[in-house]
Amino acid sequence: MDPLIMQGVQLMAVGMGTVFSFLTILIFATVLMSRCIAWLTPTSTLSDEANQRLDQSHVAAISAAIAKFENDKLNK
Amino acid sequence: MDPLIMQGVQLMAVGMGTVFSFLTILIFATVLMSRCIAWLTPTSTLSDEANQRLDQSHVAAISAAIAKFENDKLNK
Amino acid sequence: MDPLIMQGVQLMAVGMGTVFSFLTILIFATVLMSRCIAWLTPTSTLSDEANQRLDQSHVAAISAAIAKFENDKLNK
Amino acid sequence: MDALQQLWAGSGLAQMTLGQGLMIVIGLLLLYLAIVRKFEPLLLVTIGFGGILSNIPGVEIATGDGLLHMVYVVGIETGAFPLIIFMGVGAMTDFGPLLANPRTLFLGAAAQFGIFATLLGAVALSATGVLEFDLKQAAAIGIIGGADGPTAIFVAGKLAPELLAAIAIAAYSYMALVPIIQPPIMRALTTQAEREITMVQLREVSKAEKVVFPLLLLLLIALLLPSAAPLLGMFCFGNLMRECGVVDRLTDTTQNALINIVTIFLGLGVGSKLSAEAFLNTQTLGILMLGMVAFAIGTASGVLMAKGMNLLSKTPINPIIGAAGVSAVPMAARVANKVGLEANSSNYLLMHAMGPNVAGVIGSAVAAGILIQFTGG
Amino acid sequence: MDALQQLWAGSGLAQMTLGQGLMIVIGLLLLYLAIVRKFEPLLLVTIGFGGILSNIPGVEIATGDGLLHMVYVVGIETGAFPLIIFMGVGAMTDFGPLLANPRTLFLGAAAQFGIFATLLGAVALSATGVLEFDLKQAAAIGIIGGADGPTAIFVAGKLAPELLAAIAIAAYSYMALVPIIQPPIMRALTTQAEREITMVQLREVSKAEKVVFPLLLLLLIALLLPSAAPLLGMFCFGNLMRECGVVDRLTDTTQNALINIVTIFLGLGVGSKLSAEAFLNTQTLGILMLGMVAFAIGTASGVLMAKGMNLLSKTPINPIIGAAGVSAVPMAARVANKVGLEANSSNYLLMHAMGPNVAGVIGSAVAAGILIQFTGG
Amino acid sequence: MDALQQLWAGSGLAQMTLGQGLMIVIGLLLLYLAIVRKFEPLLLVTIGFGGILSNIPGVEIATGDGLLHMVYVVGIETGAFPLIIFMGVGAMTDFGPLLANPRTLFLGAAAQFGIFATLLGAVALSATGVLEFDLKQAAAIGIIGGADGPTAIFVAGKLAPELLAAIAIAAYSYMALVPIIQPPIMRALTTQAEREITMVQLREVSKAEKVVFPLLLLLLIALLLPSAAPLLGMFCFGNLMRECGVVDRLTDTTQNALINIVTIFLGLGVGSKLSAEAFLNTQTLGILMLGMVAFAIGTASGVLMAKGMNLLSKTPINPIIGAAGVSAVPMAARVANKVGLEANSSNYLLMHAMGPNVAGVIGSAVAAGILIQFTGG
Ligand code: NA
Ligand code: NA
Ligand code: NA
């Protein structure tokens, strides 16, 4: 067989092999990752979000204070 | 006459000549183009626009479907 | 004393000296600048602002004229 | 007069070669496809216009110190522009549907068969003397089957810059032609019953999963397949910026100003390679033909893979979505959705097809890494 | 102490030359004109500040590895920045009024007489020994009469980089002074009756015409005048992106982020050439004077051309709009409108003046191509 | 088979060194700090990801023709990226509070003591043989005390590029840690009564003052301290664009698209220096330790300076705001506000603390100029 074709066939075998192997490993890793995260995450993350909302209201208060101070013409 | 002035006069002649010739040709080409387009375009292009509107509604439907799926927090 | 430490001490002296001198000069220059501006600016700058508002209304009128002309689909 | 003679000698009419004239016509054709037919306009408008500019005779634009040549050298020869665009694509990609159904990664893997089959086709044409392609060129042509613009430009720039313009044009044109190329193949390979399969609603994916996924992918690349690191690394970087939620202003610029600026210059730079010598030859015909074959084989492989998976699994997959594994985001997923609706008017496959669709992006970037590593990029 | 001596030796007070001090004052003057008098602020703020930075003694900013010098080398010496800005200008230009009344292209042609008359003036000054300009320098000075910033910078960068800063400053300053320079000339050359002429309402122009026009212009350039291809090619590219309607996201970035970023660095780069040696000499005085003459002659030529056209045509043209043929978009069109309203308070000429206004952009880009071709850019 | 062997030889598992593995872990740690702990995410996400990419074995990313190495050479080695970012910071800085109370510049001056004390600490460590730093390296480490990211990167790039990554990471990490580092120091050095001091409402500052201030600063720099001109010049340029009100479109792009694009590549470029050889050594430990000391001393100096000023002046200053003199804009000002509210729940110090906060930016840029001038940058 032509050596170029030989190389092509080999490249195809290695290539498709690698693509499939890599994506298969990625599937397992992804599933594992999703399970770990589900296991680590408490069902209700409400408290976290509530905290965050508080933080944001804090930031908002500061921002309002700054805005109040800046009576000058603002850059849009 | 000074050779530099000679060159200047020649450049002026060539330059203004070219500018006028080129823009004159552009006028004729533009008028021709406009006439061709007027001749090719049916008076009412409503159907085209209607089609386009349909396409857009199609896109909108798909977009809505995607948006519905993405209950996650969106990047602004 | 170690020559490196000597250099370090000297750099600290020059550095802090320069920072303080420069910012002190800057304070005086800033105060002077603010006073000059306060002295140059009439208490009421209303007329200026009024002029500007007129200019803007002029621009707005022209913009409106352009917008009126452009019945074509606009780039967003 | 001398000056008039010089003027005439400098005019395009006096200097233009037949090749340049034909290339200008081809540039206009690309603009027609982009503007009127809406073929991937972002790239085909810029490539087409760049091609016309580059074929204006007697002026340095695509050569020497000309702007388009400098753009090519700085942005494409170095690989910088395709990598930045890939970062932008990452910033626009939602891996949610893939994470909800990771099995669809298999579909994205299968569709890469189009790449390697085409590579084999190219070397076969070369071995039989029909056309002449070396292994690097064959690999660069094969990547058209990846249906991914920046990946194709990156690989072609590394392996076969002389074919870059033809490969980029083939890749983007066929991505635009997906609604014409794919449906007949889908229908030929599936039964009506298969096309009617409805799939279970995708689960909701948590923010944490979306944040961790690009890092997981990056680590696997680092451990197993470093040759894919430039492309997938930048892709994961864009995606992490998108999902991490703390750098939204960077994500926003990446998705808009940055990717748009780079797209303009990428297109002009690719267009600068549209010279008659490089384009008007039988190789280009071969590339266009092989590119079409690549798309068709990729589509078929994806569909057949889905059918194969249905033999082994209890949760059925509608084989139509296998076709989306070629990437061509989001066109291929929309086409799958449309064909699915034809078979069953209440069967919305769009989100299910987004999984293989983005899997195909990963798959062809992996294939690109292998091709560059093994043919010596 | 040594260190204090070194500090003093490194200070500006110890190192500053008279020339640097004067250039800093000139930089401040440019900032004053830009900020208080609103003279083309986008360019004069950046050029003025760049000029001040470049004249700070004892530090590499406009030389060697300094940022502004690198900006100059990368963006201006190569011509890249003016070309990109011209693309942006194209993306912001509406050819509608020109397409509705293509005759106004003649006005844009006539106004270019200012360019060539000034060139002649510069060589005459040189021939009589008053100042010394070679042909390239004379051509670069003449282009100020084009009233087009990026065109002037592009031509000066190619033909006379040593005069670049003076030419750029003259061009932008006179564009800002159009409301002062033009009205007296308009009034002197027209009768009250002529200024009162009302023009017929412009017809509506179809989208197709707007899409085809930049391509038509590009093809004529390719066939007839390749030397104008870099400038007009990029201009047409920007305009095609704008009008084709399928790449709006690219147009948007071109009109905003891209042109703004390039403007900042273009201004700083031009400012880096504001050295005392290059600027504080009689040549600069000559350039400022000749630039003023160029604007005046261009304005007059446009007005007289319109009067000439009225002799031959039945549809009259208000000769005031001829002045808009110098470009200085959109200032010149606004000035024409204002002078028209003074003569006849219901005679809005703005849209009519936009035709010659954009025609002037094309006209001076054509002239720029000729100048570069014939003086060997 | 050969190919499988080549595949294995090319894999990360076969090639990865222990150092690379550790650096990837450090990159992940930085991402954790940025994403979960919200430590300066704009920089730590990009630096962290760049660091991971750069330690993937067997592929050119941070070396040779790799993208990140090119980014480093073009943007950081030249100093261009930190200067452009500094321009953007200028465009985002409001000098109003400083102009209303210029005395607070003293606080910004005092806080720079952290820089020089740390420099001395570094040379002391070197003199006693604990670690090895030359004077340039000591200066680059000291600048961490400036609490200003772009300034630190600019100085480190000039004086000690081999320490760049460690210095940048220390600077940004400690800026993020300001809410933890500063409050104990503030409390230790002040009495409850001092912390309760209320300050007089700041006067309104006119637009003219805000426009003139950056020019005034620039002129003083030009006359007295040219070595600070690159940093402060670009800073003043950004601020002038912001305040002059006539180039709002440039300001907008500078504050958004431009600074975001440069931030992405700055971070990736800094990350490209995160190699095991450069980072995994005792010097890095020394830098992290000294950086912490620098922040602490800077904070203390600012507070003590405020107390000193209260001895001499009738208008009292709440010494808490002295801590804001280290810069770390706007975090340090917010922390001062928070500690002030703890002492007196109606005492809002935020705007008062913005004065020393921006003064600290000027102060450390001045110090940076001195360091570069005297250690031969
Ligand atoms: Na793909
Ligand atoms: Na013009
Ligand atoms: Na600071």
pLDDT at res. D328: 86
Average pLDDT for C27-40:
94
Average pLDDT for E132-161:
94
The 10s digit of each residue's pLDDT in F227-283 is 999 999 999 999 999 999 999 999 999 999 999 999 999 999 999 999 998 899 999
D254-to-F250, F256, F327 alpha-carbon distances in Å: 19, 11, 28
Q: CA F209, F213, F214, F218: dihedral to nearest 10 degrees?
A: 150
Would you say residue F154 has pLDDT above 60? yes
Helix F229-244, helix F350-374: angle, nearest 10: 150
Kindly identify the ligand whose nearest atom is closest to the C-alpha of F294: 3
Collapsing DSSP states into helix, strand and coil, what is residue F260?
Answer: helix
As given in the structure block, the two tokens for residue E230 are 């870099």
Q: What is the pTM of this model?
A: 0.92
How many Å apart are CA F274 and CA F50, to the nearest integer? 8
Question: Which segments within chain F are labelled E, that is strand?
Answer: none
A11 vs D: CB within 8 A:
yes
Would you say residue E158 has pLDDT above 70? yes
Average pLDDT for E367-373:
94
The 10s digit of each residue's pLDDT in E165-218 is 999 999 999 999 999 999 999 999 999 999 999 998 889 999 999 999 999 999
As given in the structure block, the two tokens for residue E248 are 């709006």
What is the amino acid identity at position F246?
V
How many Å apart are CA D158 and CA D154, to the nearest integer? 6
Would you say residue C73 has pLDDT above 50? no
E103 vs B: CB within 8 A:
yes
Least confident range from A24-38, C38-52, F251-265: namely C38-52
Average pLDDT for F131-153:
94
CB B70, CB D94: distance < 8 Å: yes
How many Å apart are CA E292 and CA E297, to the nearest integer? 9
What is the amino acid identity at position F219?
L
Closest-approach residue (CA) in chain D for E253:
D257
Alpha carbon of residue F108 to chain centroid = 14
DSSP code string of A12-39: HHHHHHHHHHHHHHHHHHHHHHHHHHHH
Kindly identify the ligand whose nearest atom is closest to the C-alpha of F171: 3
The CB density around residue E69, as the number of other CB atoms within 10 Å, is 18
Would you say residue F223 has pLDDT above 90? yes
How many Å apart are CA D257 and CA D262, to the nearest integer? 9
Chains that touch B (3 or more CB pairs under 8 A): D, E
CB F226, CB E58: distance < 8 Å: yes
Kindly identify the ligand whose nearest atom is closest to the C-alpha of F155: 3
Closest-approach residue (CA) in chain F for C16:
F113
What is the amino acid identity at position D58?
G
How many Å apart are CA F61 and CA F57, to the nearest integer? 9
Distance from the CA of B16 to the center of ligand 2, in angstroms?
13
Nearest CA of chain D to the CA of F13: how many Å? 5
Q: Which value does ipTM take for this structure?
A: 0.89
F2 versus B38: the higher-pLDDT residue is: B38
Give Cβ neighbours of residue F199 (< 8 Å, ≥ 6 apart): F316, F317, F318, F321, F349, F352
How many Å apart are CA F125 and CA F156, to the nearest integer? 19
User: What does the DSSP 8-state code read for residue D75?
Assistant: I
As given in the structure block, the two tokens for residue D303 are 């569909």
Nearest CA of chain F to the CA of E205: how many Å? 30
Question: Residue F330's pLDDT band (boundaries 50, 70, 90)?
Answer: confident
CB-nearest partner of D245 from B11, B62, B73: B73
E246-to-D37, D352, E147, E279, F211 alpha-carbon distances in Å: 10, 28, 32, 46, 42
CB D359, CB D97: distance < 8 Å: no
How many Å apart are CA F373 and CA F375, to the nearest integer? 6
Give exposure, B41-61, as e/b (b: 16+ Cβ within 10 Å). Answer: eeeeeeeeeeeeeeeeeeeee
**Pick from F81, F88, F83, F104: which is nearest to F264 by CA?**
F81
As given in the structure block, the two tokens for residue D189 are 């390979």
| Backbone φ, ψ for residue F161 (5° rounding) | -55, -25
CB D16, CB D33: distance < 8 Å: no
**pLDDT values of chain D reduced to their tens digit, one per residue, 377 residues:** 577 888 888 887 888 999 999 999 999 999 999 999 999 999 999 999 999 999 999 888 999 899 999 999 999 999 999 999 999 999 999 999 999 999 999 999 999 999 999 999 999 999 998 899 999 999 999 999 999 999 999 999 999 999 999 999 999 999 999 999 999 999 999 999 999 999 988 899 999 999 999 999 999 999 999 999 999 999 999 999 999 999 999 999 999 999 999 999 999 999 999 999 889 999 999 999 999 999 999 999 999 999 999 999 888 999 999 999 998 888 899 999 999 999 988 889 999 999 999 999 999 999 999 999 999 75
When the pLDDT of each residue in chain F is averaged and rounded to a whole number, the result is 93
The CB density around residue F193, as the number of other CB atoms within 10 Å, is 8
Distance from the CA of F143 to the center of ligand 1, in angstroms?
47
Question: Among positive and negative, which fits the CA dihedral F306, F308, F312, F316?
Answer: positive
DSSP code string of E55-76: TSTTS-SSSTT-HHHHHIIIII
Q: How many residues comprise chain B?
A: 76
Average pLDDT for E35-61:
94
B59 vs E: CB within 8 A:
no
E195-to-E115, E225, E328, E333, F214 alpha-carbon distances in Å: 26, 36, 21, 14, 47
Question: Which residues in chain D have their CB less than 8 angstroms from residue A27's CB?
Answer: 102-103, 105-106
The 10s digit of each residue's pLDDT in E233-286 is 999 999 999 999 999 999 999 999 999 999 999 999 999 999 998 899 999 999
Collapsing DSSP states into helix, strand and coil, what is residue E205?
Answer: coil
A66 vs F: CB within 8 A:
yes
Would you say residue C45 has pLDDT above 60? no
Which residue ranges make up each domain of chain D?
82-374
pLDDT at res. E280: 92
**Pick from E36, E333, E326, E39: which is nearest to E169 by CA?**
E39
Question: Which residues in chain D have their CB less than 8 angstroms from residue F268's CB?
Answer: 237
As given in the structure block, the two tokens for residue E172 are 């932008």
Would you say residue F357 has pLDDT above 70? yes
pLDDT at res. C43: 60
Average pLDDT for E108-123:
95
pLDDT at res. D5: 83
How many Å apart are CA D93 and CA D213, to the nearest integer? 12
CB E104, CB E361: distance < 8 Å: no
Question: Residue A12's pLDDT band (boundaries 50, 70, 90)?
Answer: very high
Closest-approach residue (CA) in chain D for E216:
D28
User: What does the DSSP 8-state code read for residue E163?
Assistant: G
Alpha carbon of residue A45 to chain centroid = 18
CB E326, CB E332: distance < 8 Å: yes
Least confident range from A44-58, B30-44, D107-121, D156-170: namely A44-58
**Pick from F43, F67, F35, F38: which is nearest to F54 by CA?**
F67
When the pLDDT of each residue in chain B is averaged and rounded to a whole number, the result is 71
Helix and strand counts by DSSP (H, E) for chain B: 2, 0
How many Å apart are CA E231 and CA E208, to the nearest integer? 24
Question: Residue C42's pLDDT band (boundaries 50, 70, 90)?
Answer: confident
pLDDT at res. B1: 66
CB-nearest partner of E67 from F80, F252, F374: F80
CA angle B57, B63, B67 (to 5 degrees): 140
DSSP code string of E18-38: HHHHHHHHHHHHHHHHHHTS-
Distance from the CA of F262 to the center of ligand 3, in angstroms?
21
CB-nearest partner of E53 from F211, F229, F374: F229
C6 vs F: CB within 8 A:
no
How many Å apart are CA D280 and CA D326, to the nearest integer? 28
pLDDT at res. A25: 96
Question: Which one of D232, D246, D252 would you mutate to disrupt binding with F, by most F Cβ within 10 Å of its Cβ?
Answer: D246
Half-sphere exposure of D196 (CA within 13 A, CB side): 5
Omega prior to F330 cis, within 30 of 0? yes
E178-to-A65, E185, E319, E345, E358 alpha-carbon distances in Å: 45, 11, 17, 21, 16
Give exposure, E74-113, as e/b (b: 16+ Cβ within 10 Å). Answer: bbbbbbbbbbbbbbbbbbbbbbbbbbbbbbbbbbbbbbbb
Would you say residue B67 has pLDDT above 90? no
Average pLDDT for F353-375:
94
The 10s digit of each residue's pLDDT in F187-222 is 999 999 999 999 988 899 999 999 999 999 999 999
Average pLDDT for E16-42:
95
CB E29, CB E21: distance < 8 Å: no
As given in the structure block, the two tokens for residue F55 are 């330690």
DSSP code string of D212-250: HHHHHHHHHHHHH-GGGHHHHHHHHHHHHHHHHSS-HHH
